[in-house]
Amino acid sequence: MTSCSQDAYQALRDYLNGLLNPSLADQALADVPAALRPGLETFMTGKTEYQDEAGRRMIYAADLAAWAADLIYGAGLTAPLPLATVDVAALRAATLRHAA
């Protein structure tokens, strides 16, 4: 594994682990990193979403935590995610938003 791939993998793990935080707020689907959005949309099929005042699709924090747990400990990604396509900076920024 190259150092770039290792960075991408670690950023992905940090992001998903951050979603497991019980104090995490609900999140707009648009704020989920683009590479992970299709998988989250599939996971959310049949689950409740809502729209915020700006009309953005919002995902409940509990559903985000369940999705992250499924990716980490359960079924994993529905399709391989080439680490070279992962936007490490966006994942780190999203992780920092969760920590704030």
pLDDT per position as a tens digit, 35-94: 888 889 999 999 999 999 999 999 999 999 999 998 888 877 766 666 777 778 888 887
The separation between the first and the last C-alpha atoms of the chain, rounded to the nearest angstrom, is 31
The answer to whether the CB of 8 falls within 8 A of the CB of 86 is yes
Whats the size of the chain, residue-wise? 100
The tokens for 30 are 């648009």
Considering only the C-alpha atoms of the chain, give the largest distance between any 2 of them, rounded to a whole number of Å. 44
With a cut of 90, say whether residue 29 has pLDDT above it: yes
Q: What is the pLDDT of residue 91?
A: 80
SS3 51: strand
Q: Give the gyration radius of the chain's Cα atoms.
A: 13
